[in-house]
Each structure stands twice: as C-alpha cells, then as structure tokens.
Structure 1
Amino acid sequence: MKSVLLSVVAGLILGALIHIASILTIPWAAENNAWSRLRGLAEINEVRRIEPDASGKSDLPDLDPAMHYAVCHYDLARGPLQIRAPVPRTYWSLALYDRLGINYYVINDRIVGPGELEVWVANKTQLLEIEPEDSENSGTSGEGESKDRLIVGAPRQQGFAVFRLLVPGASFEQTVEQALSGTSCATIILPGAPGAGNG
C-alpha cells in the first residue's frame, strides 16, 4: 500500500514538473517558430528564397533538395493578401500556414494548370467585403493554360505562404527560376478601407 501511495505521489510530482516546464517553454517556442524567423529575415509581403540546408539550419525545416522554395509572410491588418505566380509545367505547390505554423490550405499543379496563378488570402471580415465575382473559386486542371483567382479564408490575421517547385532536370532550372522570380505577394486595399483613397 505504501509503495502504491509513493508511486501516485511521484506521478503527481512528475506531472506537475512537466506541466511547469511546458508553460515555461511557450514563450520560447512562440518566438522561434517559422513565422517569427521569417519575420526577422524579410519585410511583410517580401518574397524570399529559401535554400535547403543539409545541416538543418534552414529557416524552414525538412526542405527537399530537389525543390526550389520561395516564402513570404503576411499580415491581413490592412487588407487581403494577393499572391501571384507564373506556374510552369512541372510539379509545384503553394501552401498557406498561420503564424503558429498550422497548414490550412494547399494547392498544386493537379488542381490548377500552367499559367498565371492568383490567390487572395482574406480574414472573415474581408471575405464579406470582396465583390461576389471575385469570391468565385475557379480552377482548371490538365494541360491547358489557365488564369485563376482563388479566394482563401485565413483562420488567423498573420501567417506565411510557401511556394515550391520541382526541378526534374537541368533543362527546367531556368523555367523554375523565372517562376520564382515572378512570384509576388501584395496587400489589396479594399474600397472603404483606411487609406483606400490615398494613392
């Protein structure tokens, strides 16, 4: 009976220590997640290239060396985010994450064919303000050229986008580089928003 009581007490003490340690690490984890690191490397909406690093010191973990990456972090305080990218005839994907690093949206070449990709990221209030014709999700797949505007609801005000493209061979290197160079992130000032009429 005594040994059982000691085990219970030891378990409670261990649980309390783990709980305290978890609470103490929250501020550290909050300042060392991907969004915070990207915020320290670039301005809001600035597209930045991220190179895979075999040492594991890359700004984003688990990067595939066969892929080329571009990222931008955003803040929807002034308006929706507009992402534009010329997508080539190779595998590519665009993934959206909130500031906690939780992935909430992914699109790739199987959903939208090669051409000009346009994605708007908006919070709940902004989604209501966007014109109905702008809110229609349109997408084409297959080999045809396409130009699509996709509207995505963001769960949080801040986050980041990761655009990645596969380089299947040396002949695709220039095409992929041009696609990454042509990728942009910008804030859309909606009519009626503060600063909308100020240029």
Structure 2
Amino acid sequence: MSKLLYAILTGFFGAVLLHIIIILGVPHFTGRDAYTRVTAEGAPFVFHPLSAQPDAVGLSNLDPYLRVAVCHFDITRQPLSLIALGGGVDFWSVAIYDREANEIFSMNDRTSVAGDLDVLVATPVQVAQLRKTPIAALAETILVEHPGMEGYVVLRVLAPQASYEADAKTFLADAECLPFIGR
C-alpha cells in the first residue's frame, strides 16, 4: 500500500512541477516575451512612445496618467547613455531590464541628480574601464552595471491632466537612449 501511495504522490508532484515549468517557459518559446515585443517596436537606441491602444506586437500604455516610451539596447561594444532633462515635468521614472525582463535598476526624478535623467548602463568590464580612467563629464552620471549585453529601458512621465500632455510628450521626445561616445 505504501508503494502505491508513494507512486501516486510522486506522480502528482511531478505533474505539478512539469506544469509550472511549462507555464514559466511559454513566453520564452513563443517569442511573446517583453524583450521580443520591445525589439519589435523599431530600431535600437531610440525611445519608442507607446499609445493607449495595443500596437501590432501588443504593447500599450494602460495607465491614463502616465506616458510611456521604451528603448532596447545592446551594450556589447559600448555602454548605453540615458539622458533626459526633467525640468518641465512633475514626475518621471525609468526602469532598466535585462533580456529576461528582470529589473536591473530603477529610479525617478526624486532620486536623480538635479531632477534630470543621466545614467550610463555598462557591462562589469566596461564599468571597470570607466572607473580606471574617470571622465570629468561623468562626475554626476549614475553608473549602472548590467549583467548581460542586451536589455530594454522603460521611461515613464506623469501627465494627470490635459495641461501636462505637451510637457510629457516633449520630455519623451527629447529623451536620449544612445550608445555612449565619451563626452
């Protein structure tokens, strides 16, 4: 009797484990994961604004009080520079994700230097090289060590009323997501 009970329990837990693995693996195998969707938005190193309606790949901005833009990158050759002047908006936030949609870093205007976005995303080797030969222009830049080579950035800005709309759109349009070319 105990062998039968052991076999049933083993089968049950094996089935549960298999189902969990399948559910967590579906986005990877279907190409519908967040990174794949963001790369389908367009060229790398460009902030692509999202609209309220889902686009061809299913990305949209569902929060009526935020305007959102996404940018994907590859830092194999050089770091990524994220720059935006936050003077005209009341609140912004940025989040950096790796290829598997794990959040690597996030911040907002309250935790930035002077309310502006000035972040350099680099691999551990690139960060070590930057620290070895410091560049004066990077004194107030936040260095973010990214464990992989590819990822994406989500930039959000608050626009709770129609009067904020123009400033929010200007903020996203002027934001830069570019390869770093020493300053």
Name the TM-score, length of structure 1 as normaliser.
0.75
Cα drift, residue 109 of structure 1: 1.6
**Cα pair distance change 1:137/1:155, threshold 3 Å:** farther
Deviations 1:56-76 (A, max 9, x none): x8426x842210001101111
Q: 2:151 corresponds to which residue?
A: 159
Partners of 2:119 and 2:10 in 1: how far apart?
50
**Cα pair distance change 1:136/1:114, threshold 3 Å:** closer
Q: How much is the aligned-residue C-alpha RMSD, in angstroms? A: 2.7
Deviations 1:35-83 (A, max 9, x none): 11111221221211123458xx8426x8422100011011111110011
Q: 2:96 corresponds to which residue?
A: 96
Which 5+ residue runs of structure 1 have no aligned equivalent? 139-148, 191-199
Please tell me whether the aligned partners of residues 137 and 151 of structure 1 are also in contact (alpha carbons under 8 angstroms): no
Deviations 1:93-145 (A, max 9, x none): 0111111111121111211266642211000111112132469663xxxxxxx
Partners of 2:44 and 2:106 in 1: how far apart?
21
Q: 1:197 corresponds to which residue?
A: none
Which 5+ residue runs of structure 2 have no aligned equivalent? none
1:177 corresponds to which of 169, 172, 175 = 169
Q: How many residues align?
A: 175
Residue aligned with 2:40, SS:
helix
Partners of 1:134 and 1:155 in 2: how far apart?
25
Please tell me whether the aligned partners of residues 76 and 157 of structure 1 are also in contact (alpha carbons under 8 angstroms): yes
Quote the sequence identity (%): 26
Residue aligned with 1:35, SS:
helix
Name the TM-score, length of structure 2 as normaliser.
0.81
**Cα pair distance change 1:171/1:114, threshold 3 Å:** farther
Greater helix share, 1 or 2? 2
Q: 1:73 corresponds to which residue?
A: 72
Please tell me whether the aligned partners of residues 51 and 58 of structure 1 are also in contact (alpha carbons under 8 angstroms): no
